[in-house]
Amino acid sequence: MGAAPFGGVLVVSLEQAVAGPMASQRLAEAGARVIKIERPEGDFARGYDKAANGVASYFAWLNRGKESIALDLRQAAEWGLLRHMISKADVFIQNLGHGATARMGLGATALRADQPGLIVCDISGYGAEGPRATAKAYDLLVQAESGLISVSGAPGAEGRIGVSVADIATGTNAALAISQALARKARTGEGAHIQVSLFDTLAEWMTVPLLHHDYLGQAPAPAGLAHPSIAPYGAFTCADGERILISIQSDREWRVLARLIERDEMATDPDFATNNARVANRAATDGAVACWFAGQSVAEAERALDEHRIAYGRLNSVAGLSVHPQLRRSHHSHGLGSVDLPASALRCGWSAEDADVPDLDQQGSALRAEFGVD
* C-alpha separations of 89 from 13, 31, 39, 92, 363 in Å: 10, 14, 20, 7, 17
* Number of residues that make up the chain: 374
Among residues 227, 324, 331, 332, the one annotated as catalytic is: 227
- Cα(181)–Cα(335) distance, integer angstroms: 34
Burial label for 365, CB within 10 Å (0-12, 13-18, 19+), is exposed
The Cβ-side half-sphere exposure at 205, using a 13 Å CA radius, reads 22
- Cα(362)–Cα(70) distance, integer angstroms: 9
The helix/strand/coil state of 283 is helix
How many Cβ atoms sit within 10 Å of the Cβ of residue 100?
14
Q: Which residues are bridge partners to 94 per DSSP?
A: 14, 122
User: Is 227 a residue of the active site?
Assistant: yes
- Cα(141)–Cα(43) distance, integer angstroms: 21
Q: Which residues are bridge partners to 70 per DSSP?
A: 38
Residues known to be catalytic: 227
